[in-house]
A and B are shown apart, each in its own frame.
Chain A
């Protein structure tokens, strides 16, 4: 039996009637057509489906869409604001932290949540923070560089730009 839910995604509320078995990632990709969030596995190992749910990086394949009723979700499509890229997006491009780009949205979302909680991480902390996001192309070297580089930029511009994760938490 369909359930009525309203999930706020990237600032817009989407009231929809959905099956209770629908995963959040299916809701995003198939119900709303936001295909920037990817599905890479079915065991919550790869992290390609990571989105922010009420400010916390969440694997959208491990959550039912009905559980997100009333929640604030930010996906990769919502990371840039008015065409202004988030520092993590710029850093990923600058540091060549992506190759095929499939894992990239999940990794950037994980990094955004992490950097808002830990603005000056060590490389070891960065590596620990992203260990739930698998990348088969880059060997993580440049991803670590990108997250470090983004952290510097975010510290410099602190206050100038609203925190994505914190904003979603309200």
Chain B
């Protein structure tokens, strides 16, 4: 009923509100929080990947100067178990205590804890704790873990099988019977280490019956909830603060042992306690990502039409199920495997396996990069097999633009999509047509040049609460927002999302600014404090923040705006339908000279002596927004690589991408998300991989052995976008946090394999390191001597 205004700030490259404090060193990260009388927690971690704990001697440690207390797992059972928020059918859940009590199940499993007056004293004492271990047989490989006779990680479960998750659609037998081409390929999606540059940390104090806990978390409200339940405190007595959080990528999407331990110890010891992860410790004790081995069969016709896809995958979940782990290889993976294509028959069986390795959970993309890599490699394998242009195979099988909303063969509904324009733009950006000339030129240099395409679709906007429940997710998928306009007209937005680099303070201010007709500069966005939030927030993960949390802000702002209009109409003696809210003013359409200031309206709301009949005083609104569906962003990424014929080193010489995340609130932030995401995806394709030996020792155990891409390892990125709005939410937004990671890995690998295809090479497993390529080139009988 109110006059609408055109967006002023939505879609603009508004400078980030977060930056001034972060570029001056004034931001406060969790490890920066230091409290008077603070003690330090250090954990003793098992050097064995699998060992029974016979005895722990803490005598010497307790005598070390500065030591406050020493604990074993049995002393700390009062912290309760670590939570798992998702239960998929047939799931065999593991008991997971913050400190192991019976046996260590991976190298890095905590077995004892020391609290001391200083970090150094705690470390010295930790070295004095003597643990008598009985080493047990170890299983590292997930496939082997499911074989009969494998060492069992959790004896009480009887086997290492976590779940079997089958998803079927169409007639798969017919697809393979009708197939003119059948391609079988093992696809390995290697284990990755997230490597947020800020290590995890927790600081807590317990005063006047109230626990305040600062944590490097993406989900402060879940930490609050579990801390309250496990530690026997009212939720009103647990304040969790996620201050500046230095990157997460899923690795801070947990309720970790250290959060419960620090909370418990602060409460029990009566003094503040801090724990800060060391990087090498984090490599063992912070979750890893990916780790799938898939056997894939694709049925197709000679003209490139895909008929069916059969997949058998084992996902390595590590030694324990973490918070969201059951949902990553299942809900967030299996359903999206058909990708951008109309596939008539689909048969996927995903199995999860416990092993003696660090637990695996969400890492940027979480299930969707594994899906995109699988299908996009198979499409390229098909193109190679039938000697057809990979771009044309994709085009031939794309879901048509007029087919949306589209029900996939895996049983979900894509909201909207238009895949060909994104492909066409990316092809043009990449000068795809001119590529063969460049390949030939590279050959004269003794190098191999290739071009690789990836046309991905992913799932964002997690998620409708009822769908969550049906899928086994044990919590709603809504998000909350509260907007408070003070009497003077200053505005605060409280959001349940918990950003750690995504710039919500800026984007949410843009969204609220457009609804309220004021500048984002006049809006403060606050997040990450459970005592300030609307009550319950779900958090920032799965590229959900904008499509759920941003929409909640929009809806709250619309509510406030509605009241502004009503008050404005009353004061201006006009009909609400004629009232315009814009430029910090409220006026009757066509009469801007007789405007009220936004601050006049808010003051009136609190003076409360001249409001419309029956209106409550005050000017604020709280919204819990539960989306009706997921959103499904898409795009095409194209990598062009040149491989040094002598060394096998890959250089990405050009990277082009056209992404579609629906409406963009702040294109500058969208591009930033893509840059970082693409770099992480290239990291998986070319550089990164967690390596265990057969004894379960993490060989890639520090940043010295695990190669996080540097500035010299990645190219500049050429980005473009299309805009296909979603009907799922009123802003038409989809999400962009993970798209880059999802799109880039297959593009980079497809490019490398394309470069080497003249040598007869059809597939190589990631990471495509110089050594691997050098060996492959030589094994093919080529390469300079």
Contact = CB atoms under 8 A, between A and B. Distances in A.
A78 B678 CA distance: 33
Interface in A64-111: 75-77, 79-80, 85, 89, 92-94, 96, 98-105, 108
Interface of B: 15-16, 18-20, 22-29, 31-32, 34, 120, 195-199, 244-247, 249, 278-280, 500-503, 668-669, 671-672, 674-680, 702-704, 708, 710-712, 714, 716-717, 740
Contacts of B199: 39-41
Nearest to B713: A131
A11 B27 CA distance: 22
Q: Which of B199, B278, B669 has the most CB of A within 10 A?
A: B199
In terms of DSSP, what is the predominant structure of the interface of chain B?
Answer: loop
Contacts of A100: 196-198, 244-247, 500-501
A103 B197 contact: yes
Given A38-B198, A141-B716, 13 more contacts: A38-B29, A42-B702, A76-B23, A77-B24, A79-B24, A100-B245, A102-B244, A126-B711, A130-B710, A134-B195, A138-B675, A141-B717, A144-B711
A43 B702 contact: yes
Contacts of A134: 195, 197, 703, 708, 710
A167 interface: no
B217 to A, nearest CB: 13
Interface in A28-74: 29-30, 33-43, 45-46, 48
Nearest to A94: B15
B280 A141 contact: no
Contacts of A127: 710-712
Q: Which of A79, A137, A140, A144 has the most CB of B within 10 A?
A: A137
A134 B716 CA distance: 16
Contacts of B245: 100
Contacts of B711: 126-128, 130-131, 133, 135, 140, 143-144
A132 B740 CA distance: 24
Contacts of A101: 18-19, 22-23, 27, 244, 246, 501
Contacts of B669: 96
A39 B671 CA distance: 27
B710 A131 contact: yes
Interface in A104-161: 104-105, 108, 123, 126-128, 130-144
A100 to B, nearest CB: 3
Given A40-B198, A127-B712, A140-B711, A33 B34 contact: yes
Contacts, number: 178
| Nearest 7 interchain pairs by C-beta | A36-B25, A102-B246, A101-B22, A100-B501, A139-B679, A99-B501, A139-B675
A132 B249 CA distance: 21
Interface of A: 19, 21, 29-30, 33-43, 45-46, 48, 75-77, 79-80, 85, 89, 92-94, 96, 98-105, 108, 123, 126-128, 130-144
Contacts of A40: 197-199, 246, 279
21 contacts: A19-B120, A35-B28, A36-B24, A38-B246, A40-B197, A41-B702, A42-B280, A45-B702, A45-B708, A77-B25, A96-B16, A96-B672, A100-B500, A101-B19, A102-B197, A130-B711, A134-B195, A137-B247, A138-B672, A139-B714, A140-B675
B503 A99 contact: yes
B712 A136 contact: no
Contacts of B195: 134, 136
Contacts of B280: 42-43
Contacts of A33: 34
A166 B674 CA distance: 37
Nearest to B246: A102
Contacts of A98: 19, 22-23
A64 to B, nearest CB: 14
A77 to B, nearest CB: 5
Contacts of A103: 197, 246
B23 A42 contact: no
Contacts of B15: 93-94
Contact of B29 (A35, A92, A137): A35
A42 B278 contact: yes
Contact of B703 (A21, A41, A77, A141): A41
Nearest to A26: B119
A124 to B, nearest CB: 8
Contacts of B677: 139
A133 to B, nearest CB: 8
B120 to A, nearest CB: 8
Contacts of A144: 711, 716
A94 B23 CA distance: 11
A134 B195 CA distance: 10
A92 B22 CA distance: 10
B568 to A, nearest CB: 36
B247 A93 contact: no
Given A101-B244, A102-B247, A139 B676 contact: yes
A35 B710 contact: no
A63 B15 CA distance: 36
A42 B247 contact: no
Contact of B24 (A76, A123, A135): A76
A131 B25 contact: no
A123 B679 CA distance: 17
A42 to B, nearest CB: 5
Nearest to B502: A99
B743 to A, nearest CB: 13
Contacts of A93: 15-16, 19-20, 23
A43 B704 contact: yes
A46 B502 CA distance: 21
Contacts of B708: 45-46, 134, 136
A36 B24 CA distance: 7
A76 B197 CA distance: 17
Given A127-B711, A134-B703, A48 B197 contact: yes
A137 B738 CA distance: 11
Contacts of A139: 674-680, 714, 717, 740
Given A38-B246, A143-B711, A136 B196 contact: yes
Contacts of A99: 247, 501-503, 672, 676
A129 B31 CA distance: 28
B198 A102 contact: yes
A143 B672 CA distance: 10
B702 A102 contact: no
Nearest to A103: B197
A108 B712 CA distance: 17
A138 B34 contact: no
B676 A138 contact: yes
A128 B710 CA distance: 9
A98 to B, nearest CB: 6
Contacts of B246: 38, 40, 100-103
Contacts of B16: 93, 96
A136 B23 contact: no
A66 B55 CA distance: 41
A100 B27 CA distance: 10
A110 to B, nearest CB: 10
A90 to B, nearest CB: 8
Nearest to A101: B22
Contacts of A35: 25, 28-29, 31-32
Contacts of A37: 25
A41 B279 contact: yes
Q: Which of A30, A80, A102 has the most CB of B within 10 A?
A: A102
Nearest to B18: A101
Contact of A104 (B23, B678, B717): B23
Contacts of B196: 100, 102, 136
Contacts of B714: 139-141
Nearest to B22: A101
Contacts of B198: 38, 40, 100, 102
Contacts of B23: 76, 85, 89, 92-93, 98, 101, 104, 108
A75 B24 CA distance: 10
Contacts of A104: 22-23
